[in-house]
Amino acid sequence: MIEVQGVSGRRVAVLGLGRSGLSAARALMAGGAEVVAWDDTRAPREDAASEGFEIKDLSRDEALDGVDRLIVSPGIPHLYPAPNRVVAAALGLGIPVDNDIGLFFRSLATEAWHRFDTAPRVIAVTGSNGKSTTSALIHHVLAEAGRDVQLAGNIGRGVLDLDPPGDGGVVVLELSSYQTELARALTPDVAVFTNLSADHLDRHGGLGGYFAAKRRLFSEGGPDRAVIGVDEAEGRFLAGQLSEGPTDDRVIRTSSGQKLGGPGWAVVARKGFLAETRKGKQVGAIDLREIKGLPGAHNHQNACAAYAACRATGLAPRVIERGFHSFEGLPHRSQIVAETGGVRIVNDSKATNVDAALKALMAFPRIRWICGGLEKEGGLANLAPGLPHVVKAYVIGREAARFALGLNGVEAAICTTMSAAVEAAMAEAQPGEVVLLAPAAASFDQYDNFERRGDDFITEVRARIGADGGTAADA
């Protein structure tokens, strides 16, 4: 646990007692704070009470009397579309509002660091798509290289549940816009911006507010190195704001598909090859085509970001390449589930929006596509560039027929259930094709979350692999 500093003897309120909220409450108490906590749901309140925390409805009059600061869990809005009533009351009283990420950055460095030969470092990754894979890939490469490294944030453990890093230790954080928008301290050593596409717009008051939330990771403390994906206008703008000139190597620009000019530090993937250039000369290269854990252009974009971040910590290109080859990918994100009869079966249940699903479709030439679910705003029109890769769609979800109508020019079977979709897709798939779950929709019409949906897909696939033969990958 990382004990929160500067709170001894102070009364601190914690709103929301999920994973991050409860770990924040524990870390605050360990730092000597008097903690008062609340969650609108009974079960989390009871769990916190069993650990000895004072439970108090923070929305009641005078509940915030004497409170020094309010710590808010990521899912609780503080500005758009409307602030939570407790947050609004705290702001009205002049009480600072923070989250566990802010507490982490203000509490990480301790007196023990003066005895270290190499100070610990933090690599923080944000963006719309690919940040989980990028974070996990950085963690994997550093671990394979023998570094003392931990992974936390929006993936894995809560940030305050981490062990205090030792001499030369590295902490890799995946940070969502919900986490970066509110943290009062953001001081990573290396900050990574993968890409930007429209998401969470209600929460941030539009695309500009969403980008501003991501941008705070780079503007609040100023990282020593910034790795910026420049495939979108926002990334190019951010790189330009951070750089002092074309040769400023504090900014590493990355791209999948573009050729980047200029004398600066860049990492680019094109036609399956990653290339690192500095001062106009190539200094490193990796053939990504045979790395099974990183299929498709979207994963090559992730590879560029992870490569650049690892280079910023001093790793050599060959060391990074070895780490790439042993990376198996994350569950539900371009996860290879099995190969049978020349057919590859891939679980990308995390592709819950059109942009993520399009990237998955562009990764393979001939696809038996399992899709559908709770359709998001904006429709399916932006899937058009990937639809020529689809041999046939197998649509699931309660509104499968309506979803299928949006797949212009694609043969579609209305399957409704995962079992029926997997049965049909695997029976009809030919050698060289890919059976791909990339729903382009939320899961909540049939499943609690995208993980449950992906697990169901894997279960259905392996039931048939067991019957028909083939090679199943480890989940």
Last residue of a domain, one of 98, 131, 150: 98
Residue keyed to tokens 């991501």: 214
* Domain CATH number, residue 345: 3.90.190.20
Bridge partners of residue 277, in order along the sequence: 266, 282
Decide if pLDDT at 161 tops 60: yes
Q: In what order do the strands lie in the sheet with 225-229?
A: 149-153, 170-174, 121-126, 190-193, 225-229, 251-256, 265-270, 273-278, 281-287
For 335, the enclosing helix (H) or strand (E) is strand 335-340
Both 404 and 277 in one domain: the answer is no
Active-site residues, by number, are 131, 154, 200
pTM equals 0.84
The pLDDT mean for the chain works out to 93
pLDDT at 469: 46
Where in the sequence is the domain holding 308, given as residue range(s)?
A: 108-325
Both 219 and 306 in one domain: the answer is yes
* Domain CATH number, residue 43: 3.40.50.720
292 is in an annotated binding site: no
* Domain CATH number, residue 126: 3.40.1190.10
326 is in an annotated binding site: no
Looking at the domain assignment, is residue 330 inside a domain? no
Q: Which of 416, 432, 415 is nearest to 424 (CA)?
A: 415
130 is in an annotated binding site: yes
pLDDT at 473: 53
Q: Per the structure, how many domains does the chain have?
A: 3
Both 185 and 252 in one domain: the answer is yes
Read off the pLDDT band of 330 (50, 70, 90): confident
Q: Which of 434, 442, 395 is nearest to 414 (CA)?
A: 395
127 is in an annotated binding site: yes
Both 275 and 134 in one domain: the answer is yes
For 422, the enclosing helix (H) or strand (E) is helix 418-428
- Mean pLDDT of the region 63-85: 94
Both 296 and 377 in one domain: the answer is no
Q: Please provide the DSSP assignment of 5-30 as one string.
A: SS-TT-EEEEE--SHHHHHHHHHHHH
Decide if pLDDT at 15 tops 90: yes
pLDDT at 241: 94
pLDDT digits (tens, 9 = 90+) for 272-286: 999 999 998 999 999
Distance between CA atoms of residues 339 and 469, nearest Å:
10
Both 166 and 265 in one domain: the answer is yes
